Structure 1
Amino acid sequence: MNNKKLKMTWEDSLKIYDTIVESCNGFERKGKKMIYTSSNGYMFTLLNKAGEIGIRLPKEEATKFMEQYDTGHYYSYGAKMKDYVLAPESLWNNKPIMVKYFEQSFAYVNSFPTK
């Protein structure tokens, strides 16, 4: 018997990402190949080419998130994304938690000066 976890396809990840974004208030998904959300001139969530979701959070919240969910920093195209955490796949289907963090990220970038 094969107990290996099946790797989710990028398209599966995109469907989940879109479902989360559609459940949020005040923003929508952007991009065709580079998938992201942005507000006030700043990106705040990303879906990278590896099918991983990154969420931009204030430093203290990012630290708490990484500790609570046993995850790390988010990388896109090999670069560490400042202020971003990697959302573990174990959270993706917990829509209330993911919406909470996406909306928290939205509020965070809206606290920045407009670009």
Structure 2
Amino acid sequence: MTWDDALKIYDDITEACNGFERKGKTMIYTSSNGYMFTLLNKDAEIGLRLPKDEATKFMEQYSTGHYYSYGAKMKDYVLVPESLWENKALMVNYFEQSFAYVNTLRPK
């Protein structure tokens, strides 16, 4: 998938979510409470920040792993498989779960 295609899907998902919007021009992300919680990296991969137990469940359920951006492993992030991207309702649900999670963290 091209980066432009991934950006269109990412934007479509974030536009359907409540309480936040997509940020960035070259580094695409969402943030709240001083924390980023979703990312679209230069390799056209979506990362999602989840609590440790939920991240583990997500990785097991969807046979995926940790998320890397610019070669660095992103703490508490999972790599969202492309096979899930077209399931907009599921993706909106996960994006909103991630948003709710970072809002439980101590503000930065």
TM superposition score category, shorter chain reference: over 0.9
**How far did residue 114 of structure 1 move?**
1.1
TM score, norm. by length of structure 2: 0.99
Poorly superposed stretches of 4+, deviation over 6 Å: none
Unaligned 5+ segments in structure 2 are none
Decide which structure has the larger Cα Rg and report it.
1
TM score, norm. by length of structure 1: 0.93
Provide the identity percentage: 81
The aligned residue for residue 55 of structure 2 is 62
1:71 is aligned to 2:64: yes
The aligned residue for residue 2 of structure 2 is 9
AA at the equivalent of 2:103 = N
1:25 is aligned to 2:50: no
The aligned residue for residue 87 of structure 2 is 94
1:52 is aligned to 2:40: no
**How far did residue 113 of structure 1 move?**
1.1
User: In 2, distance between residues paired with 1:15 and 1:68?
Assistant: 25
AA at the equivalent of 1:28 = E
The aligned residue for residue 38 of structure 1 is 31
User: In 2, distance between residues paired with 1:45 and 1:103?
Assistant: 10
State how many pairs are aligned: 108
